Structure 1
Amino acid sequence: MNYVGLNDFEKFCIRTVTSALRKEGLESSNLIVGIDFTKSNEWTGKVSFNNRSLHALSDSPNPYQKALSIIGKTLAPFDEDGLIPCFGFGDATTHDQMVFSFHNDNSPCHGFEEVLDCYKNIIPNAQLSGPTSYGPVVEAAMDIVEKSGGQFHILLIVADGQVTRSSSVGDGELSVQEERTIKAIVDASAYPLSIILVGVGDGPWDDMKKFDDKIPARDFDNFQFVNFTEIMSKNIGVPEKEAAFALAALMEVPFQYKAVTEMGLIGHVTVKAKHIVPRPPPTRYTRPTRLTSVPSNTSSTSASDEHSQVCPICLTAGKDLAFGCGHMGMWIKIVQLPYMSPAYQKPNKAVYWVIGWQQVDSEMMSMLIRWK
């Protein structure tokens, strides 16, 4: 590998990962990328990204671009053909049901340069939505592994939030999104597929760190979570942070490759994968004047009706069930906090925000969420 431009620590970390992979017999790897386009990206950069959307584009890279660049640099020695299937999920065209491809013809990107270029082109057109489920992108990855004839793949998911869990879901129960995500991860353990979830933004990530415990017995431990923000906030130099992140993200891959090899999964075809047909990348849209919500599952529902039917916080509960979903009732408590400005403590304000929620703009919504 060409180490030009890398410092000694970066070289050490990359060599550590690559030598461990080669020790287990892995000479080449295939990468699949999944990017989170859920609406929470608009406010989960409050602390870690100067109160900007995590997808904001500027002269300096955003957290998604940084994470992709670092992983791409590390995996370069193992990527022979440079073909990288890329998917987005959680936007207004896919929600928690499907994925979209970075190309209209569902072709893979040629190297990480094209991955990043396509990502930049998609951002202005993407309407962030939700809810969050990693099930669809894991299912799409299984389909790719199946079509490859059982070649070893690494699925890199970069996301800003935990799997959606409404407050109406009781202790010990799973949300619909959690159930689908867990089932997909369990099913994926029958494939030579390593799943790496990279968390960007402020989190919270407590549940994601424990998510592995919710997953029942698998054929092998195929899933790991890495907190990008936590590593990049350490008090060390930027090159050292990047190298440490690459090492943390890929350190389990050698063991996973060894496991799938010993299990005979390399070259094995299950014929059980879903035949996923990704949607095309989103096209330019006119931003709505009020908060965007998730549409119902009924395809005949009009866009205007869809926007008025769902809670704008959890993106799962119907608006007519707002008080039941736990998020709208939350606002009454928020406006009565003693340290808030008197202007926000007026009773008529509280009633207005609860009853007339659809007139609250995105800036106010973000402010309310931060006060939670």
Structure 2
Amino acid sequence: MVIPSNNWPFTSAGTSRRQSSVDLAKPPRFDDELPEAPAGVRDPSKVRYKLIFGIDFTANNLWAGKFSLKNESLHAIVDGDTLNPYQEVIHIIGKELALSDDDFIRCYGFGDVTTRDEGVFSFQENDSPCQGFEHVLECYRKNVPNVQYFGPTSYAPMVEAAVDIVEESGGLHHVLVIITSGQVAMGSQQEQETIRSIVDASSYPLSIVLVGVGDGPWESIQKFHDKISAHQFDNFHFVNFTAIMSKTTATAEKVKDFAAALINASMAADELGIMSRMTGRAKKITPKPPPVLSSHCAQRKGPVSAEVAEAQRSGICWEDEKDTAFECGHMSCIKCALRMPQCPFCREEITTWRRVYP
């Protein structure tokens, strides 16, 4: 596979009110300048943790590539060697960390119609791990066509699923890499639940790295980070993948910078000596199976389950199906969307919305 050398063409045309105030090439303050990697950090032999991938399948992915991916969905699968941002992140992590087919990697999706902001689905049946990053990419390509994007954005179910995995492993150090196209809405219930889950996770040898792909905006991520004040160690870090890959340096150097930022963010648990720490809590998240085509197209081809039917109805009028997604990730029917200046669920200003079709 070949990583495109110039996949990030930013333009000012068509910029929305919110996007016009955001410098897409500038990461938030607490990751504003990537530190020089300490000796040994870039050496894959220094990596002493197991990986977990969490992939964002909220509706925000449909428009978050307006500038960075020429208006394509961030999950668009292209034939040939061109990779979408999610595939790029997985590919770089696999190559730079020298992952082999012997590495078992747990992979999950969240934010689709089957999980919403309440759960996760496994990339494989019976919640089996993938073997090596090439297998992760293979499972990703297999699942993407079957996903029905939904929302809103919440990282809490993914964090809780990762804690369950650490418990099952007997306290082995894991790094949860959440690849996402958008922030959790400020002041929302999803934000409160996500903060709580991150604080709870700091009792475990679990490092959480949020990798931002697409246009963002990411201007609120610093405020979000500052709200996580009760954690036992700094277990949450943000890496702006788009900003790193839009630098004018050589592609190989940008790839190294991203890998170094990821490894740096994962070292805190090792340094604090909290390996094997657990609380013995009961399992909180039971991953759903991978989405299947029949459920993705059910509303066109036959009856749907009560759960899916309820999820598809607008939460405002409770009559028509949800077919319009807001920038915050919440959805409604088009009739309700056209008469609302603010999202009725999180009160965020509606600056962009997009029709979503099955």
What TM-score range do you get, normalising by the shorter chain? 0.7 to 0.9
Match of 1:62 in 2: 84
Match of 2:41 in 1: 17
Gaps of 5+ in 2: 1-35, 301-305
Deviations 1:305-359 (A, max 9, x none): 458366631454766976567159x9xx989xxxxxxxxxxxxxxxxxxxxx9xx
In the alignment, structure 1 residue 286 sits paired with structure 2 residue 306: no
Take 1:20 and 1:154, find their aligned partners in 2: how far apart are those partners?
15
Take 1:211 and 1:304, find their aligned partners in 2: how far apart are those partners?
30
Aligned residues: percent identity? 46
Q: Given that residues 75 and 144 in structure 2 are in contact (C-alpha distance below 8 angstroms), is that contact kept between their aligned partners in structure 1?
A: yes
The one-letter amino acid of 2:98's match is A
The one-letter amino acid of 2:279's match is T
Take 1:126 and 1:42, find their aligned partners in 2: how far apart are those partners?
12
Partner secondary structure for residue 226 of structure 1: strand
Match of 2:220 in 1: 207
Match of 2:8 in 1: none
Take 1:269 and 1:107, find their aligned partners in 2: how far apart are those partners?
23
- How far does residue 251 in structure 1 lie from its aligned partner after superposition? 1.3
Q: Given that residues 65 and 72 in structure 2 are in contact (C-alpha distance below 8 angstroms), is that contact kept between their aligned partners in structure 1?
A: yes
> Of the candidates 82, 93, 96, which is equivalent to residue 71 of structure 1?
93
Match of 1:326 in 2: 342
Change (3 A) 1:199 1:50: same
Match of 2:246 in 1: 233
Take 1:135 and 1:250, find their aligned partners in 2: how far apart are those partners?
22
Take 2:308 and 2:176, find their aligned partners in 1: how far apart are those partners?
34
Change (3 A) 1:308 1:214: farther
Deviations 1:86-135 (A, max 9, x none): 00000111110000000111000000000000000011111111100000
Compute the TM-score of the two structures, normalised by the length of structure 2: 0.75
Across the aligned residues of Structure 1 and Structure 2, the Cα RMSD in angstroms comes to 3.3
Q: Given that residues 21 and 253 in structure 1 are in contact (C-alpha distance below 8 angstroms), is that contact kept between their aligned partners in structure 2?
A: no
Match of 1:353 in 2: none
The one-letter amino acid of 1:148's match is S
For 1:1-372, what aligned pairs fall within 5 Å after superposition?
16-18=40-42, 22=46, 28-58=48-78, 59=80, 60-76=82-98, 81-165=102-186, 174-259=187-272, 261=273, 265-284=274-293, 285-286=296-297, 299=307, 302=310, 305-306=313-314, 308=320, 312-313=325-326, 314-316=328-330, 326-327=342-343, 361-362=355-356
Aligned residues: 302
Take 1:240 and 1:278, find their aligned partners in 2: how far apart are those partners?
37
- How far does residue 249 in structure 1 lie from its aligned partner after superposition? 1.9
Could you tell which deviates more after superposition, 211-220 or 137-146? 211-220
- How far does residue 19 in structure 1 lie from its aligned partner after superposition? 5.1
Change (3 A) 1:362 1:236: same
Partner secondary structure for residue 207 of structure 2: strand
Structure with the largest fraction of helix? 1
Q: Given that residues 14 and 74 in structure 1 are in contact (C-alpha distance below 8 angstroms), is that contact kept between their aligned partners in structure 2?
A: no
Could you tell which deviates more after superposition, 85-94 or 211-220? 211-220
Partner secondary structure for residue 17 of structure 1: coil
- How far does residue 302 in structure 1 lie from its aligned partner after superposition? 4.5
Larger Rg: 1
Take 1:89 and 1:334, find their aligned partners in 2: how far apart are those partners?
24
Q: Given that residues 14 and 243 in structure 1 are in contact (C-alpha distance below 8 angstroms), is that contact kept between their aligned partners in structure 2?
A: no
